[in-house]
Amino acid sequence: MKKLLQEQIMNNILVVNFRRMWPYIKPYWFRAALGVALTVPVGALDGAVAMFLKPFMDKVMVDKQPHFSALIPFLIVGFTVVQGVLIYASNYLNTWVAQKITIGVKRKLYDKLLSMDTSYFDQNNSGTILFRYSNDAETASTGLIDNLKQFLSKTFSSISLIGVLLYNSWQLAVIAIAVLVVFIYPMSVVRKKMKEILEKTVGNLSYVMTIYNETFAGNKTIRSFTLEEEFKHRFHKVTDMTFALAMKMVKGTNWLSPLMHIIMSIGVALVIGCGSYLIVSGKITSGNFVAFIAALMMLYTPLKSVGNNYIAIQNSFLAIDRIFNILDLQPKIKDLSTAKELQEVNKEIIFEHVHFGYLPGREVLHDINLTIPVGTTIALVGNSGGGKTTISALLPRLYDIQQGSIKIDGSDIRDISQNSLRKQIAMVFQDNFLFSGTIRENILLGNAEADEGVIWQALKNACLEEFVRELPEGLETQIGERGILLSGGQKQRLAIARAFVKNAPIVILDEATSALDNKSERVVQEALENLMKNRTVIVIAHRLSTIQNADKIVVINDGKIAEEGRHGELLKKNGAYTALYAMQFRGK
């Protein structure tokens, strides 16, 4: 009956959520239906057990018929055994279905995560991603099946028990049912308070996950800057908030169960008072009354814990809402229905009057005009934060420009499919992301079909061949999460080998040597020069010594092109480039 009352309050929510979850339930509908169907006799048998108390009371306790004293207890035990078997079978099937649905939802959410723009990851922290894309799937899927199972079980239990009440005394049944109606209002009050608290709790738990992630990824920084106390303070603060929200939930909802106890006791008291009168007046027998009280207690008892269960139900519904809020999101960068495939790059890359900003009203690039002929090397230099990296991120459409156009061989990159565009571009960053796994697996991310010869040639070109051959497990060497078992220079060269295997005609090097020491830089620079041969290259450089032989050097200051030309030409102008050069080489 507990779930029946909850359904009266949340019927529309359950129907809508179930309808939206149906595509994930559909492949397993038969098992789901069977598991749920088994809850029907489970609930109905509650009434059967209560019903047997009437003949036991009347025939054994009053009429003293001994054969009933042996028969009825066996029947009650028999029904309970059947009920137990059905409960086990139902739980097994429902758990199987819930896990399959969870997997389906998680896969759909992960597909959605992979489709989201770079800006989406800029705006959400790792804790939020983990919680909403993983935990919510567990909460929603398991909760939906459990809610449906419990609802049907308690519904049929309630129907059978109410039938027992009506059979034994319609007068007392009216009183019992009238008391149930009183339960509805306090539950609706609790629901309003819970939603706000649960939403804050989710945000808080997401931040807890973020702290764990940052502690793991930034453990060296924490130790080197002696930030242990600072992070302890952060964690204590967020756990204090978790405690405060938990207590707020208890304060706002746990009065419901005591109130239910009081209302239930009033109902039982009224039934006992009126039942006594009906027995004395001969309108019902003692058996009727005992069976009625048993059925009434079975009907009322679940309501004692309604507060805790109600929180779980609301949490499940909110998780479903959050899941579909994510699935309804649309990436800002999409392929046109008429998008064409970019097979090769033959002529040039052109930036025409490009304007871009990460946030509305805050432009980062202002009227960028730049031509990059195929086979040339263009170096982007300038003060930090001037927009160099932003330019490199616009070419593969990690972000979309607000004004102007970027063209490859005369075609706007927005008219080209993202997949084919990015296949033509290899990127090597300052901090390249390596994935947990082996050296081979990380190199093959550049081209899954590369054979052994291609892999070793890539390692040779990346100045990493000798190092890998000396490893006991060679290409099968595990490098740890984010390549933690490799040095900075080895990470960079492995990323360069990955770019070699991709064999893309356009290469973007984003300060690929700036974080290395002089010795590592020389080795990595040699690998980069191998990678740059016969390709169109965009180099973002902090150290001007590495780009003096570029075909064109473009100085970017405050989102604008300050000047451009070859190294010698720019020095003669005595402008922005000369100032940068003098700053780096002063005293050398």
**DSSP string computed for 462-520:** TT-HHHHHHSTTGGG-B--GGGTTS-HHHHHHHHHHHHHHHT-SEEEEESTTTTS-HHH
The CATH number of whichever domain residue 415 belongs to comes to: 3.40.50.300
In total, how many domains does the chain have?
A: 2
Looking at residue 283, which CATH number applies to its domain? 1.20.1560.10
First to last CA, the chain: 85
**Residue 302 is encoded by which pair of tokens?**
């679940």
Pair (345, 322) in one structural domain: no
Looking at the fold, whether 132 and 174 belong to one and the same domain comes out as yes
Same domain, 307 and 388: no
Q: Residue 4's pLDDT is what?
A: 42
What is the rounded CA–CA span in Å between residue 215 and residue 121? 19
Same domain, yes or no: 319 and 395: no
| Same-domain pairing of 58 and 166 | yes
SS3 at position 14? helix
Cα–Cα separations (whole angstroms), residue 108 to 111, 134, 317, 328:
5, 11, 18, 12
- pLDDT (tens, 9 = 90+) of the chain, 588 residues, equals 444 444 444 445 556 666 777 788 888 888 877 877 777 776 666 656 666 566 666 555 555 555 555 566 676 677 778 778 888 888 888 888 888 888 888 889 888 888 888 888 888 877 888 878 888 887 777 766 666 666 666 666 667 777 777 777 778 778 777 777 776 666 666 666 666 777 777 777 777 888 887 787 777 777 767 778 888 888 888 888 888 888 887 777 777 767 777 777 787 788 888 877 787 777 877 767 777 777 777 776 666 555 556 666 777 777 888 888 888 888 888 888 899 998 988 999 999 999 998 888 888 999 999 999 998 989 898 888 888 889 988 999 999 999 999 999 989 999 999 989 999 988 888 777 788 888 888 888 888 888 888 889 888 888 888 888 888 888 888 887 777 778 777 888 888 888 888 888 998 888 766 555 566 667 777 777 777 888 898 988 877 777 888 889 999 988 898 898 898 888 888 888 888 888 876 645
H/E element holding 373?
Answer: strand 365-373
Residue 441 CA: distances (Å) to CA of 293, 455, 496: 69, 11, 14
> Of 311, 327, 343, which one is at a domain's C-terminal end?
327
Is 446 within 8 Å of 502 (Cβ atoms)? yes
Find the domain containing 382 and state its range: 335-424+544-588
My answer on whether 284 and 347 are in the same domain is: no
CA–CA dist 560, 366 (Å, integer): 6
User: Token digits for 97?
Assistant: 């279905």
Residue 31 lies in a domain: yes
Does some domain include residue 459?
A: no
Task: For the chain, give the longest Cα–Cα distance.
Answer: 120
In this structure, the chain runs to a length of 588
538 within some domain: no
Q: Is residue 52 part of a domain?
A: yes
Out of 276, 294, 327, pick the residue that ends a domain: 327
- What letter would DSSP give residue 387? S
Whole-angstrom distance, CA of residue 381 vs CA of residue 387: 10
**Rg of the chain taking only CA atoms, in angstroms:** 35
DSSP SS3 for 350: strand
3-state SS string over 176-210? Answer: HHHHHHHCHHHHHHHHHHHHHHHHHHHHHHHHHHH
461: in domain: no
Is 439 among the domain residues?
A: no
Whether 514 maps to a domain, the answer reads no
At how many degrees (to 10) do helices 39-51 and 66-115 cross?
Answer: 160
Query: Do 159 and 305 belong to one domain?
Result: yes
**pLDDT value at residue 571:** 87
Other C-beta atoms within 10 Å of 399: how many?
A: 19
Same domain, yes or no: 284 and 178: yes
355 and 278 within one domain = no
DSSP one-letter string for 532-577: HTTSEEEEE-S-GGGSTT-SEEEEEETTEEEEEE-HHHHHHHTSHH
Pairing of strands 425-428, 552-557: unpaired
The tokens of 352 are what? 């025409």
Whole-model pTM: value is: 0.71
- The answer to whether residues 317 and 10 touch, using CB atoms and an 8 Å cutoff, is yes
In this structure, is residue 435 part of a structural domain?
no
Which of 288, 306, 327 is at the close of a domain?
327
Same domain, 320 and 377: no
- How far apart are alpha carbons 194 and 418 in whole angstroms? 43
Same domain, 184 and 236: yes
| Structure token pair of residue 338 | 């008429």
Q: How far apart are CA 190 and CA 201, in angstroms?
A: 16
Could you give the CA distance from residue 425 to residue 505 in angstroms, rounded to a whole number? 7
Token digits of residue 457: 């040639």
Interatomic CA distance for residues 351 and 333, integer angstroms: 18
Compute the distance between CA of residue 326 and CA of residue 262 in angstroms, rounded to an integer.
42
- 350, 413 contact by CB (below 8 A): no
Same domain assignment for residues 317 and 361? no
User: What is the structure's pLDDT at 163?
Assistant: 76
